[in-house]
Amino acid sequence: MSEPIRVYSVLSDPFRYGFMVMARTVLAQNPERDISFRILWHREYSPLSAEHQAWLAAGVPRLEFVEVDLSTYDGIFRLRDRLFKTPRRLFAAFLILEAFRDDGPGQVLCLDSDMICVGPFDEDLFEGDDFKAVEARKPKGEPLGYYNTGVMRIGRAHRGAEAYARIMSFDDVSKYQKKTGAADQALLAMMYRPTNSTALPWRYNVTRRHVPRKEVVEHLRGMSAVFLHYVGAKPWHVSIDHRDLGHSDAERLWDRTVRQYLTAEEHVAYLEEWRDISREHVRSYLKANPPIKALTLFRKARKRLVKILRRKSRKKPAD
């Protein structure tokens, strides 16, 4: 039997279906591996109700829930507030740092809940004791020099009490770059880079913005992809981001995967929640960006301009 793999993921109530699908696809793609899951949550920053914890535990085997104690996070929060200027919606992302505390045997893998596993893990993911992640990339695939922390393998040399203490007390901000993000990714980018750790092959963290508009499945199969990562607007939301307009085939893959890995009852509940969340999402956006009002003002201004020009043309003396 292979050595145990503990998968860590930060989770709150609205992301529960994403985690359920991610976990079930991981298990389906890796049936011979010894995999368990640990969900990190917090009552204020990443709330997960007892009802939803029970629902998840019934649907994912070998699942634990860890309520994070923030008593060691004072230094992290200073960086969050003074340097990163982290928006509140991203506060929960820092909870993934708890995975660095794990000093148990086997492997530690950190996964975002907004991804699906489309291929099996290979041994290159687990070889050695190094920190491993996939380098972030521009839309056309050019590497950016820092990691996307949606997939991280934390080797034995980089976890445990001492490693965790180093992260919690980290204060060397000389290598900070704003482009690396505003949460855990920005912090870890100052500590781990492709030049001082091990960059995993791109196939371990392919984002939906890096796949073609059509034939996504064939593209992922061709590159032996392991994870498709739905960065940006989540697939259980209606996306109003122009960067997602050309990726409907990736969204259809998500929809097919949801139908395959959720039970009929779970799927109905998921669709109802998708409807409610999307309605609220769109309404909030329209409230903040009222297109009808702007269009009305434009039309009124254009009408007024036409009237002024016509009035001037009437007053123009004949030759």
How much is the pLDDT for 298?
74
pLDDT by residue (tens digit) across 244-265? 666 788 999 999 999 999 999 9
Rounded (5°) CA angle 10-16-19 = 65
CB 113 within 8 A of CB 184: no
What does R_g of the chain's alpha carbons equal in angstroms? 24
List of residues 6+ apart from 211 with CB closer than 8 A: 219, 220, 228, 247, 249, 250
Q: How far is CA 144 from CA 83, 141, 189, 195, in A?
A: 21, 9, 11, 12
**CA contacts within 13 A on the Cβ side of 4:** 11
What are 141's two structure tokens? 């695939």
Residues facing 151 on adjacent strands: 111
pTM score? 0.87
How many other β-carbons are positioned within 10 Å of the β-carbon of residue 34? 14
Rounded distance between C-alpha atoms, residue 168 and residue 162, angstroms: 10
Residues of the chain with pLDDT under 70: 1, 238-246, 285-286, 289-296, 315-319
**HEC string of the chain?**
CCCCEEEEEECCHHHHHHHHHHHHHHHHHCCCCCEEEEEEEECCCECCCHHHHHHHHHHCCCEEEEECCHHHCHHHHHHHHHHHCCCHHHHHHHHHHHHHHCCCCCEEEEECCCEEECCCCCHHHCCCCCEEEEEEECCCCCEEEEEEEEEEEECHHHCCHHHHHHHHCCCCCCCCCHHHCCCHHHHHHHHCCCCCCEEECHHHCEEHHHCCCCCHHHHHHHCCCCEEECCCCCCCCCCCCHHHCCCHHHHHHHHHHHHHHCCHHHHHHHHHHHHHHHHHHHHHHHHHCCHHHHHHHHHHHHHHHHHHHHHHHHHCCCC
Rounded distance between C-alpha atoms, residue 214 and residue 10, angstroms: 31
CB 267 within 8 A of CB 4: no
How many other β-carbons are positioned within 10 Å of the β-carbon of residue 187? 26
How much is the pLDDT for 246?
63
Which residue in 175, 84, 180 sits closest to 133, CA to CA?
Answer: 180
CB 209 within 8 A of CB 247: yes
How much is the pLDDT for 279?
78
Rounded distance between C-alpha atoms, residue 51 and residue 204, angstroms: 32
Provide the residue ranges of all domains of the chain, joining segments of one domain with +: 5-288
State which fold the 5-288 domain adopts: Spore Coat Polysaccharide Biosynthesis Protein SpsA; Chain A (3.90.550)
